[in-house]
Structure 1
Amino acid sequence: MKKSVLAYPLLASMALVSVPAWGQGPDINDDIENIAADGLSPEIIVTGLPASLGDKAYNATEISMDSSQTVENSLRDVPGLQQFRRSDARSANPTSQGVTLRGLGGNASSRALLILDGVPQADPFGGWVAWPGYDALALANARITRGGGSVADGQGAISGTIELFSDNVGDLIELGAAYGSRNSVDADLLFGRELGQGQLTISANYARGDGFIPIIEGQRGTVDRPAEYEQAGLAVRFVAPLSDNVELQSNVRAFTDDRERGFAFSENHNDGADASIRLVDRNSDWQWSALAYVQIRNFDVSFGGVADDRNSVSRVFEQFNVPSTGLGARIEVRPPVGDNVELRIGGDWRRTEGTTNENFFFADNDTPRRSRRAGGSTSIYGGFVEASLQASDALVLTGGGRVDFWSIDDGFRKEIELINPFPGSVRTDEIFTRRNDTEFTGRGGFAFDVSDELTLRGAAYLGWRLPTLNELFRPFRVGADATAANELLEPERVKGAELGLDWESGLVTLGITAFYNQLDNAVANVTLANGPGVFPGVGFVSASGTYSQRQNLDAIKSKGIEIDAAFDLGELVDGLSVRAAYAYVDAEVDGSGDAAAVDGFRPAQVPRHNASGSIRWEKDNGTGASLSARYVGQQYEDDVNFLSLADAFTLDGRMALAVNDRLLVETRVENLLDARVEAAISSNGIIERAFPRTFWVGLRAKIE
């Protein structure tokens, strides 16, 4: 079990702080205080090269991972960080779980760049995130950098970067098991062994539950039933020195994820496997890292059409096979250029390819009338340079840029009749022209220490994101609503600026940031017409449905403020800490042409207000208690701001008792007040909720 979650504004050139397992070593806050007393910021490195000197100029928050929560729910404690839907990976459709920041939403593809030990994590085909695949990992920390234009990490960081870092667990065997409401089971294993000078870590997880009925009470019909889920993962990591300076890091992981959406013909299945190898030299004058990786995904999903009275359902669509692959490599060098200067030079390559195989227009629940294959590939080659200067004892300046060459290749879409009157006839057979171009990314900033306690920082940036294969080539349906693909989508481009203050005095840290972002060519699902009718790219839409197409909006403009605060009250009560954070986002669509109807509206699924807070008490042996609160403001389901999702306030709690050095008993509750967290609303007013109140009781044992 990791130490409790604490959010810190990124102070000085703070690197990640490794958090020990329960009962191991001194408290993390003692480490920070001892280092600070020596006049240094923490430099405890987990993976990769040290944090850059220039990071001080950007708005970043660091959290230690909490084993009592899933990875995605731990990240929800960072206000302004959201997925397209409020529901989590136990009940959401996997294709709705893209992650973004600062209100730059609009569809389910990720607009924040998620990285695990340097490897991009978005699904190669769709850009969403398979969150259950991370619960099996031994993770130490996450660093969330708000704001786009990440020069070293590559394209995709439109709204920010989320970095996950693996832990170094030493010699340890740790087992955990918990039983919860609705016959839910969570189990995990962590095995660490030092082999010579190397470290082997094996981690695994398993989760299942009978689930809850997503449709709210009072709107349910005979078709509605609990949404079952079953998920598992396995990860192996080996780290070993190859010389006095060079370290080898190898990672392999695999996961499987089965969910149902709460009625017949709504099942989905997601499998994945990743492998990466990295060489890191962080000890010589010429620091460098080299990384290569592969992602393999396969996905299938079925959709059912539910009658208005919710007493009957029929299969209307299925993606029965969606294989995709991501390949990539990256290199970075930091040459010695002076005591007060840091220079980063590097390049990267990423290729994605994938195909969707679909059946639709079912004559009955087992006999599709048509099939579709669609897909393609993308390639991106880029190079970057970033320099940071300690201009004086109080002032840090940083700036950099990168150039990327991109191409969209092999795009196609083919539809075939499967049954009479013309079985086997080709209805559509499109081959899309190859497209390519060059994009520029840049950012610069400063950090000025006004005093020992107060730092003023500012930054400006440009960034971009290439549309996913899913956005370019695959039409889709949700209930009666249909959305056409658009192979002519242009890359999204962001420009933004921010100004912030970081204050640290004794046991209190506070970060405040004001920002403005403009996302040009924002990809969104634009509503074009209401059914009934036959529409290009999707065919027939019934009277209860709408017809949309993915289009580039003129822009999404987003401005707001972010506040992070942490209080270490250990001098009052040993192990006591308080955290609070808030984000206000005022986002607006700038649309013309087909999108003129949404001009001035708020982007879909973007709340104005988002807040979280927690109070935690924890002893070194693991005994402790915590109470966490989250608030998410009202948001709209659709681009025309007609369907509204109510705001929601939730409380989570946990209590743990260390029986001895090897055994811990814990109880926890999710959504203590059983608040109705509205996750979706259909065009006919049917409301889907996120997870209800759930109680857990469990044991955790370790052997060292």
Structure 2
Amino acid sequence: MLFPAVLVLPVIPVAAEEAQPADNRETIVVTGRGLEETPSEPAYDTVTIERKRIMSSASGRVEDVLSTVAGFQQFRRSDSRSSNPSAQGVTLRSLGGNASTRAMVMLDGVPMVDPFFGYVPLPALAPDRLQRITVTRGGGSGPFGAGALAGAIELESADAATLGLVSGSAAVNQRGESELTGNIAPQLGSGFAVLSGRWDRGEGFYTTPQDERVPATARARYDSWSVGGRVVMPLSGDVELQARAMAFDDHRTLRFKGADSTSSGQDASLRIVGRGDWQFDVLGFAQWRDFSNIVVSSTRFVPVLDQRKTPSRGIGGKIEIRPPVGPDHVLRIGADYRRVSGTMYEDAYNAMTGAVTARRHAGGRNSDIGLFVEDAWTLGPVVLTGGLRADRTTISGGHFVERNPAGTVVVSNDFDSRSDWTVTWRAGGVYHASSALALRAAAYSGIRLPTLNELYRPFTVFPITTKANAGLRNEKLVGYEIGIDATPAEGVTLSFTAFDNKVKHAITNVSDPIVPNLRQRQNLPAIKARGVELGAAVVRGPFRFDGSLAWTDAEMVGRGASADLDGKRPAQSPRWAMNGTITYTPAPGWTLAATLRHIGKQYESDLETDVLPAATTVDAFAEMPLVRGFSAFVRGENLLDETVVTRNADGSVDLGTPRTLWIGVRLAH
């Protein structure tokens, strides 16, 4: 079933006189958030993106907002309007190698990673519904759960006070593509609700270079919508209930007419947060997803594979308790659980006759239950933190079946179930040398299960065929880092982090040494990533500068079948990534911003044979107030029309967003 999509319902703080008609009643304040951050958070390499920066993105896409954090990357450079959804895996610190997500992405505490493929439904995460984004680079074992291998990305919904009773926007670009958003955020007694919707559609641009186009070449057409709702109500003076629902549907075309993909989903979650002496956060969620994809021959331009449906499901939850152990300690004790299941159904066709040649289905179940404990201890200017986590991971129900056109089974594989306990940890400390200088250090470990897609689903992106591998092991990261956070002058903040991360049993696509254009997902001995991350923010009157830079020396460790990969960079992993944004706010309601972004050279494949050249782009945003809560805005993507190569598979090239100009109007009332 398909519902409209994203559901982000914020909450509004309520003044005591509004929430309490009688003076003798206790004050009730609802927030719509989880428990407060602990004093240990500054021990880790954390970046926070506030709403003003979220709302001034040139593309209006959440992936564009996240790319202002150097080190963030998707598997491909394309945004979610012009790529296959299954390529929307995100990671940090160049710990890539395939399209699966290695960073935990959460919306109001709920994991957003697709149960089957491991990608993130980026079109469903509308920036205008968000209050802030917190990105923690580096593995986190503690309360983030399994999957936070390269770090965590926490998306927090805007509350009703931020959104206003009615808000929204409408925009159009020079190609006639449109973007429409809307939010209604009424007060419900002492609580609040937010109803949201977004619709994006357009014919798109040509991702195929002009000299490679044929009559069957198509623009990257897209049509996606999302709707959602969130309700926050007090249960008592210090306990609140948060309910959220979301639905989305997304259609895209890539390269050729008929090469269509769809992704859809529905989410529901319930959360109870207590802020009394015994603090607690109890969360439960369920997710339903589906995906389809048609592969078109690049020589005859007819369908050769119809991955007609991939229904999947995820259920889970978390319990966290913070007992009152004294003013110098914040103790967290808890457990979390996630179970995913899914099956892929596809039909293969003869490119010459159009006849069905095979029908296949494959899938299985993965589950993880984790127990964690973590303490933050404040000793004057020093904060120490440490935690342990134990995960019971299970891979079961794996199968792959292929039938011929007559329905006769020609391949039938049932894979053995397996389970294991893994103990991970993280520890760190912050020394506040002065009000202007903090020194930090951290060490951590974490795990990630292989996705059902990696375990059981083979696929072809012409001319490359990649085989699945039901024997894949869990990835495990061990990392260390040191950092400095400084405020050398009023309005100036600087940060520096040096890190050393190593992913054991890293899953990547390994080329066959004998058969051309054939790969298989395999566990490498390791991927190593060492580097530095710099951040700066400078505020001078109406001017503000935000910048970040990441330099990462990532390499694979190969042996045996992967020996040819030893010392090479993981696929799609740049050495350099940097960006800077200058914002000018001359008067209330006015915003002028420009962003310069650079991404270094990458390689398409594990063998470093196909290059994606470095690219530098310039974006711009401007907004001016009109009347009665309305404002007008213009946005410019890739203003210099830089050629951004997003895919280069043996000379078959795709391109990223060309120069795109938007004009629109906003309402905040």
TM-score in same-fold range (> 0.5): yes
Contact 1:150 1:161 (C-alpha < 8 Å) held by counterparts: no
Paired residue for 2:40, among 46, 49, 54? 54
Query: Deviations 1:421-443 (Å, cap 9, x if unpaired)?
Result: xx222110111111110111200
Q: What TM-score comes out, normalization by structure 2 length?
A: 0.93
Contact 2:191 2:233 (C-alpha < 8 Å) held by counterparts: yes
Contact 1:305 1:480 (C-alpha < 8 Å) held by counterparts: no
Which residue pairs with 2:503 in the alignment?
Answer: 519
Deviation for aligned residue 1:46: 5.7
Contact 1:235 1:251 (C-alpha < 8 Å) held by counterparts: yes
Contact 2:598 2:617 (C-alpha < 8 Å) held by counterparts: yes
- Aligned counterparts, 1:55-204, within 5 A: 55-65=41-51, 66-67=54-55, 68=57, 69-135=60-126, 138-170=129-161, 171-204=164-197
SS of residue matched to 2:257:
coil
Paired residue for 1:552, among 520, 523, 536? 523
Gaps of 5+ in 1: 1-17, 21-43, 532-544
SS of residue matched to 1:313:
coil
Q: How many aligned positions are there?
A: 637
Deviation for aligned residue 1:638: 0.2
Paired residue for 1:219, among 209, 212, 221? 212
Deviation for aligned residue 1:19: 13
Deviation for aligned residue 1:222: 2.5
Paired residue for 1:297, among 284, 289, 303? 289
- Aligned counterparts, 1:382-393, within 5 A: 382-391=370-379, 393=380
SS of residue matched to 2:212:
coil
Which residue pairs with 1:689 in the alignment?
Answer: 655
Q: Taking structure 1 as reference, are residues 63 and 211 closer, same or farther at Cα in structure 2, changes over 3 Å only?
A: same
Deviation for aligned residue 1:462: 0.9
Name the amino acid aligned to 1:296. Answer: W
SS of residue matched to 2:40:
helix
Query: Deviations 1:486-525 (Å, cap 9, x if unpaired)?
Result: 1010000000000000002310111100000000000001
CA distance in 1, matches of 2:61, 2:353: 35
Contact 1:136 1:234 (C-alpha < 8 Å) held by counterparts: no
Which residue pairs with 2:335 in the alignment?
Answer: 347
Which residue pairs with 2:5 in the alignment?
Answer: none
User: Is residue 350 of structure 2 the alignment partner of residue 359 of structure 1?
Assistant: no
Paired residue for 2:382, among 395, 399, 408? 395
Deviation for aligned residue 1:618: 2.6
Deviation for aligned residue 1:226: 1.1
Deviation for aligned residue 1:264: 2.3
- Aligned counterparts, 1:241-640, within 5 A: 241-282=234-275, 284-307=276-299, 312-362=300-350, 364=352, 366-391=354-379, 393-418=380-405, 423-504=406-487, 505-529=489-513, 531=515, 546-570=517-541, 574=542, 576-618=543-585, 621-640=588-607
Name the amino acid aligned to 2:297. Answer: G
SS of residue matched to 1:189:
strand
CA distance in 2, matches of 1:365, 1:168: 56
Q: What TM-score comes out, normalization by structure 1 length?
A: 0.88
Contact 2:478 2:502 (C-alpha < 8 Å) held by counterparts: yes
CA distance in 1, matches of 2:485, 2:283: 33
Deviation for aligned residue 1:149: 2.5
SS of residue matched to 1:132:
helix
Name the amino acid aligned to 2:282. Answer: A
Deviation for aligned residue 1:265: 3.1
Contact 2:140 2:152 (C-alpha < 8 Å) held by counterparts: no
CA distance in 2, matches of 1:101, 1:320: 32
CA distance in 2, matches of 1:46, 1:569: 33
Name the amino acid aligned to 1:234. Answer: V
Contact 2:223 2:251 (C-alpha < 8 Å) held by counterparts: yes
Q: Taking structure 1 as reference, are residues 578 and 503 closer, same or farther at Cα in structure 2, changes over 3 Å only?
A: same
Deviation for aligned residue 1:659: 1.3
CA distance in 1, matches of 2:91, 2:106: 13
CA distance in 2, matches of 1:681, 1:331: 45
CA distance in 1, matches of 2:344, 2:130: 32
CA distance in 1, matches of 2:201, 2:148: 33
Gaps of 5+ in 2: 1-9, 13-29
Query: Deviations 1:31-55 (Å, cap 9, x if unpaired)?
Result: xxxxxxxxxxxxx976100001111
Contact 1:610 1:632 (C-alpha < 8 Å) held by counterparts: yes
CA distance in 2, matches of 1:508, 1:459: 24
SS of residue matched to 1:319:
strand
Deviation for aligned residue 1:136: 7.3
SS of residue matched to 1:154:
coil
Contact 1:99 1:110 (C-alpha < 8 Å) held by counterparts: yes
Q: Taking structure 1 as reference, are residues 343 and 365 closer, same or farther at Cα in structure 2, changes over 3 Å only?
A: farther
Deviation for aligned residue 1:660: 2.3
Query: Deviations 1:7-43 (Å, cap 9, x if unpaired)?
Result: xxxxxxxxxxx999xxxxxxxxxxxxxxxxxxxxxxx
Contact 2:249 2:263 (C-alpha < 8 Å) held by counterparts: yes
SS of residue matched to 2:416:
coil
Name the amino acid aligned to 1:686. Answer: S
Contact 2:225 2:248 (C-alpha < 8 Å) held by counterparts: yes
Q: Taking structure 1 as reference, are residues 268 and 424 closer, same or farther at Cα in structure 2, changes over 3 Å only?
A: same
Query: Deviations 1:305-339 (Å, cap 9, x if unpaired)?
Result: 212xxxx4122212101000000011000001111
SS of residue matched to 1:450:
strand
Kindly report the root-mean-square deviation, in angstroms, between the aligned alpha carbons of the 2 structures.
1.8
CA distance in 2, matches of 1:291, 1:439: 23
CA distance in 1, matches of 2:634, 2:129: 22
Contact 2:475 2:504 (C-alpha < 8 Å) held by counterparts: yes
Runs of 4+, deviation exceeding 4 Å: 363-366
Which residue pairs with 1:38 in the alignment?
Answer: none
Deviation for aligned residue 1:364: 5.0
Deviation for aligned residue 1:177: 0.4
CA distance in 1, matches of 2:631, 2:640: 26
Q: Taking structure 1 as reference, are residues 159 and 696 closer, same or farther at Cα in structure 2, changes over 3 Å only?
A: same
Which residue pairs with 2:201 in the alignment?
Answer: 208
CA distance in 2, matches of 1:596, 1:378: 30
Deviation for aligned residue 1:78: 0.6
Deviation for aligned residue 1:237: 0.5
Deviation for aligned residue 1:379: 1.2
Q: Taking structure 1 as reference, are residues 201 and 365 closer, same or farther at Cα in structure 2, changes over 3 Å only?
A: farther
Name the amino acid aligned to 2:503. Answer: L
